[in-house]
Structure 1
Amino acid sequence: MEVKVTGYENEHFDADAKEAQEKRRSARRRLEEAANTPSMALQRQYEKGLDLTGTVSESERPGRGLKVCLIGTYPPRECGIGTFTRDLRHAICQVADDVQAFVIAMTNPPNNYKYPPEVVFEIRQNQLNDYRLAAEYINFSGADIVCVQHEFGIFGGPEGRYILELLKNLNKPVVTTLHTVLSEPLAGFRVSLIRVANASDRLVVLNSRAIPILKDVYGITEEKVSLIHHGVPDVPFVDPNYYKDKFGVEGRLVLLTFGLLSRNKGIEMMLDALPEIVSVHPEVVYIVLGATHPEVKRRDGEEYRLMLKRRVRELGLEDYVIFYDRYVDDDELREFLGACDIYITPYQSREQIVSGTLAYAVGMGKAVVSTPYLYAEELLANGRGKLVPFGDSKALARTINRLIENEAMRHQMRKRAYKFGRQMTWPEVGRAYVELFRQTVGEFQGRTSATLPLVRASLDVPEIKLDHLVRLTDDTGLIQHATYGIPDRRFGYSTDDAGRALVVTLMHHRNFEDPTALRLATTYLSFLQLAQRPDGRFHNFMNYARQFTDEVGSEDTLGRALWGVGMAVALGPTEGMRALAREMFERSLSALDLVHARAISYAICGLHAFLQRYDGAALVRRKLDELANRLASLYEEARADDWRWFGEELTYANAKLPQAMLLAYQATGEERFLQIGLESLDFLLEQTYSGGQFDFIGNQGWYRRGGERATFGQQPIEAGYTAEACATAYEITEKSYYLEMARAAVEWLLGRNRLGVRLYDLVTGACSDGLDPQGASLNQGAESVICCLLGLLAAARLREKKLEIAATAAVSSATPTALGAAIQSAKAESSD
């Protein structure tokens, strides 16, 4: 249910106690509707914005100066964006007495940060519902304006798109600071940034070079963009020798690099330059200051730091390099920079549009040598620093030696940098932001309802929850059945379910980076490994005593398993998972002598997935072509003008067949496969969609050509697979008809069906096994929840694809007006 909140007006609340109590109840109802079932922690955060009567307290009401909501990471989380957010908040509150600012912090479980009081709300990065709830919180908070610190990596979803869920639900003006602007973005990143820009009233960039990039690459008008420099501490111009004794480097010439450690820092380039430097200037010491970036450490451990230390030993530089492996506070950082004679930023990527560390070094009047990334080119222009080519350690050594030997040149460079940095001090930056905020609020309030653009919600996809899948999964595998929602261990496990569950969890992990999904995927792949026979085929059924009860599974079992393993090759997030999946996949290839249409279709899905990672796998491509031709022949043998199908019956998992043909077309470019795929899908939709809703073929008799079709026993597998097939058809044809059909298939699960009952449980993430004459089945087994999740994931993918198509077309036209119109149109079209 869409919740529209208009915010609190400047009025006196003189309601009696009964009315006040009703206000509070109403607020709570809105919260629950927006969040479906928010956690108690988030609900308590929400309540912080309400006094005991459910109204905004006097100090929180608008009209009392400027109240700013900042969204970004925040200390104690170790993140450059977090430091920026904290310093910006402090700056805007210091430069004007009537400015208040609170923070919505992006957090990344399982980390549990002890935030300071100004952090009033936390958004868990990969929990989509948190973004919706945060918008509700802000709308009730009395904030006048929202300032988002945008960096793709701190938000959940592909290319950080979850932040759009928050932005589209706000009724406040938004100023977005862009910390990354890619000049040659992949399509997904370009579309994501375009949508963020479209949802923002103003954009702030920290580098003037970003402005033409936004115009030429993203189609964003210059009038929407303001340049405000990255803030730096306002400190005196000091002699580096003043601080050196504090770090035990008195009498030495200090080279420094600081910041969270990751491979893009390029520190190995400096290490390779150092032998040539110290051979001439043995007084030099190079300090590498900073902890390993937390996300890098979580993913790769200390691999990069250990490599650097090995390199130091190999080069015999132990007396010339000092690693400080910690995250330092502001005071200590200023002291380190104060002790620095020459600051080095050997970054490897030209795309780096801003660097807080470089800004600090320039602002504090340091001599700087850098590679020519975009931010360095601007900040170090006009003699404020020296640039050397990427990866050229010899040029780096020569440049540093010249600076060491020419103290007058070094001092002039420092003075130019310090003078330029005066416009970058936090008080100056704070004043610029406050001025922009006031201007933006004024423009926002000056609009009439007639001039405000109509913004409708995009395709509503309920929160995709894995709770029931977790409930059905133990350390062996996925329990097949659930009686009244309770796992029924009497029926054990199946490879059929494990293969499809592996597909779902890997897709979920790709979209949401949820560690729970990865843990489940690992369990399912492990089960499939145990189930695979030496000949490449699979057992299907295992009892609760972990004993396989069949000799070999059916063709369908082999196809479903191959689909899951192929997706593990394509989407496996670890090298180990991909390597195991590839071994299993290749072992099964020789067993793919399939004759049944659905088995062939599942196998094509797996082969197509494998080719997404290894496009040059000739054997796999030949096998896909062979099976696709076999499926096409089955279609052509049965086809008639009034029956465009692959056999004489419509039974179960029907939509997987036309989808397989469409995937085969994507892999081969064979027009015959495309024609069959679309023709058979259209036929299936004609047979199952009527009266504004889907009425799938029931399992109590199915539908044989020329006979009567069964009405009940409709199953979620049909909805999930139909949504998937329509999503694939839309991605190929870009026809909105398939978008609507995918939407209707998902909404069948949500109550748009002949009985008007919901099968997907929004609270538990479970799904009823079918639609029976008496209503939704009370049983909630594995196949149902898996196929329901497939449908929900397909709908989420479609929503992004719709906007990507519109944005890409508009950017290609190179007219900013057309771009904005296309995005608005896409949002409207996908909302009904």
Structure 2
Amino acid sequence: MSELPIPNFDQLLRMTDHRGTFEHACLDEPRPEHGYCTDDMARVLVVAAREPGASGEVNRLAGVAVRFLNDAQALGGACRNRMDAAGKWLDEPSLDDAWGRCIWGLGTAVAHSEVVWVRKSALVQFERAAQGRSKWPRAMAYAALGAVEVLTVHPDHRAARKLVTDYAVSIAKPNGDPDWPWPEPRLSYANAVLAEAIIGVGVALEAPKLWQQGLDLLAWLLDIETFNGHLSPTPVAGRGPGDPQPAFDQQPIEVAALADACARAAAVDAAAQWNDGVRNALAWFTGANDSGQLMWDPATGGGYDGLQADGINLNQGAESTLAMISTMQHGRRISLLQR
């Protein structure tokens, strides 16, 4: 990585209209016919809220995202996920991953947005969504991270603390298997969020054994997702004990999740491996990957949709572009800290 790439919101702005950010693109052109989703709008809110000194256009993205998430929520806090281009919801409210990511986005906005009305609106919505509990591990992990963010600025917030405490009780004890300590028989998707949530909740509850459990899991994950000195993330089909490396199709969102977790770990533990993990995630986008391919388009600011055995998916959809921006935000933070 000769020159540190900086977050570029151009493609994300191109993909966004007054209603939301279109989910899919054909190359760098949005595909309105596929509509929008809450998963992506939560991610939009995360990257827009934590962009320091954000421009008016980036702050507008945060406003669009907050309004979208408000519309996605039912009165009891459950969330819809998919909306068509005309603004019609296509599914019913649930407590699936979209609910968890919604809480994550809202909590991040409460803690980091520089726009007062975004912070206030996000807190109201957070309180509504935080009533729920999901049976899905990743949904609860994202929700817990949102609650952790709220507690950084509102340490006595009752709903956030209750959500964090409930999540802590649900965390499985270490299984004692040094070869496969992961709490699931296979790695699947957004794996690093499980370790990150344990770290974040451990810090929020001032429970060093808990955050150390998260650090241990993340260290193992970082090791298993490193191959020949570069990041080799879990592919779409997952990864189990003994699976060969490298494996494809690799998705940018996996890389971004690992960067998020390593950034959180670095705030707790001074070990060099965490900042190195962020750097390796950023390097994955700039060509240090299993195919030696650039995974973003510097001309548009878009992230490519997937790394495959025979090349790359050149479409620059919302999820991939957001993953790239998020990872670059972490890379920039590390660079600034070391000046």
Report the TM-score range of the alignment, normalised by the length of the smaller protein: over 0.9
* Residue in 2 that maps onto 1:614: 154
Residue 517 of structure 1: which of 58, 63, 85 is its match? Answer: 58
**Partners of 1:677 and 1:709 in 2: how far apart?**
24
* Residue in 2 that maps onto 1:36: none
Sequence identity (%)? 31
Residue 589 of structure 1: which of 118, 121, 130 is its match? Answer: 130
**Partners of 1:595 and 1:673 in 2: how far apart?**
21
* Residue in 2 that maps onto 1:691: 228
**Partners of 2:246 and 2:272 in 1: how far apart?**
29
Matched, 1:793 2:336: no
* Residue in 1 that maps onto 2:12: 469
Q: Deviations over 1:25-60 (max 9, x none)?
A: xxxxxxxxxxxxxxxxxxxxxxxxxxxxxxxxxxxx
Q: Is the 8 A contact 1:597 1:646 kept in 2?
A: no
* Residue in 2 that maps onto 1:500: 43
**Partners of 1:729 and 1:684 in 2: how far apart?**
13
Residues 42-57 of structure 1: pairs in structure 2 closer than 5 A: none
* Residue in 2 that maps onto 1:441: none
5+ residue gaps, structure 1, are 3-459, 804-826, 828-832
**Partners of 2:71 and 2:276 in 1: how far apart?**
41
SS in 1 for 2:31: strand
SS in 2 for 1:732: coil
* Residue in 2 that maps onto 1:766: 302
SS in 2 for 1:490: helix
**Partners of 2:54 and 2:42 in 1: how far apart?**
20
* Structure 1 residue 729 displacement after superposition: 1.4
**Partners of 2:250 and 2:115 in 1: how far apart?**
38
* Residue in 2 that maps onto 1:550: 91
Q: Is the 8 A contact 1:726 1:741 kept in 2?
A: yes
**Partners of 1:553 and 1:500 in 2: how far apart?**
18
Matched, 1:487 2:23: no
**Partners of 1:576 and 1:767 in 2: how far apart?**
30
Structure 2 counterpart of 1:723, one-letter code:
A
Q: Is the 8 A contact 1:703 1:709 kept in 2?
A: no
Matched, 1:653 2:193: no
Residue 778 of structure 1: which of 310, 314, 331 is its match? Answer: 314
Matched, 1:562 2:107: no
Q: Is the 8 A contact 1:506 1:572 kept in 2?
A: yes
* Residue in 1 that maps onto 2:261: 725
Structure 1 counterpart of 2:97, one-letter code:
D
SS in 2 for 1:771: strand
* Residue in 2 that maps onto 1:244: none
SS in 1 for 2:130: helix
The number of residue pairs the alignment matches comes to 339
* Residue in 2 that maps onto 1:714: 250
5+ residue gaps, structure 2, are none
* Residue in 1 that maps onto 2:74: 533
Q: CA RMSD in A?
A: 1.7
* Structure 1 residue 710 displacement after superposition: 7.0
Structure 1 counterpart of 2:283, one-letter code:
E
**Partners of 1:708 and 1:667 in 2: how far apart?**
37
TM-score of the aligned structures, taking structure 1 as reference length: 0.40
**Partners of 2:259 and 2:122 in 1: how far apart?**
26
**Partners of 1:577 and 1:739 in 2: how far apart?**
30
Q: Is the 8 A contact 1:468 1:766 kept in 2?
A: yes
**Partners of 2:165 and 2:241 in 1: how far apart?**
29
Residues 26-45 of structure 1: pairs in structure 2 closer than 5 A: none
Q: Is the 8 A contact 2:48 2:54 kept in 1?
A: no
Structure 2 counterpart of 1:693, one-letter code:
H
Q: 1:709 to 1:535 in 2, by over 3 A?
A: farther
SS in 1 for 2:34: strand
Q: Could you list the structure 1 runs, at least 4 aligned residues long, displaced by more than 4 angstroms after superposition.
A: 706-710
SS in 1 for 2:151: helix
**Partners of 2:215 and 2:30 in 1: how far apart?**
39
Structure 1 counterpart of 2:122, one-letter code:
A
* Residue in 1 that maps onto 2:139: 599
* Residue in 2 that maps onto 1:734: 270
Q: Deviations over 1:769-798 (max 9, x none)?
A: 110122111111111111111111111122
Q: Is the 8 A contact 2:79 2:98 kept in 1?
A: yes
* Structure 1 residue 726 displacement after superposition: 1.2
Matched, 1:640 2:183: no
Q: Deviations over 1:523-567 (max 9, x none)?
A: 111111111111111110001121101012452110000011111
**Partners of 1:682 and 1:500 in 2: how far apart?**
25
**Partners of 1:600 and 1:538 in 2: how far apart?**
13
Structure 2 counterpart of 1:692, one-letter code:
G
SS in 2 for 1:650: coil
SS in 2 for 1:465: coil
**Partners of 1:730 and 1:569 in 2: how far apart?**
22
Structure 2 counterpart of 1:522, one-letter code:
G
* Structure 1 residue 660 displacement after superposition: 1.1
Residues 219-230 of structure 1: pairs in structure 2 closer than 5 A: none
**Partners of 2:203 and 2:320 in 1: how far apart?**
28
SS in 2 for 1:788: helix
* Residue in 2 that maps onto 1:371: none
Structure 2 counterpart of 1:626, one-letter code:
D
Bigger RCO of structures 1 and 2 (CA < 8 A, at least 6 apart)? 2
Residues 186-225 of structure 1: pairs in structure 2 closer than 5 A: none
SS in 1 for 2:32: strand
* Structure 1 residue 619 displacement after superposition: 3.3
Q: Is the 8 A contact 1:490 1:544 kept in 2?
A: yes
Residues 812-831 of structure 1: pairs in structure 2 closer than 5 A: none
Q: Is the 8 A contact 1:723 1:742 kept in 2?
A: yes
Structure with greater proportional strand content = 1
* Structure 1 residue 708 displacement after superposition: 5.2
* Structure 1 residue 518 displacement after superposition: 0.2
Q: Is the 8 A contact 1:639 1:645 kept in 2?
A: no
SS in 1 for 2:99: helix
Structure 2 counterpart of 1:782, one-letter code:
A
Structure 2 counterpart of 1:741, one-letter code:
G
Residue 744 of structure 1: which of 273, 280, 285 is its match? Answer: 280
Structure 1 counterpart of 2:251, one-letter code:
Q
Matched, 1:667 2:204: yes
Q: Is the 8 A contact 1:639 1:646 kept in 2?
A: no
Structure 1 counterpart of 2:14, one-letter code:
R
Structure 2 counterpart of 1:485, one-letter code:
D
SS in 1 for 2:114: coil
* Structure 1 residue 706 displacement after superposition: 5.2
SS in 2 for 1:512: coil
Q: Is the 8 A contact 2:246 2:290 kept in 1?
A: no
Structure 1 counterpart of 2:305, one-letter code:
D
Q: Is the 8 A contact 1:644 1:679 kept in 2?
A: no
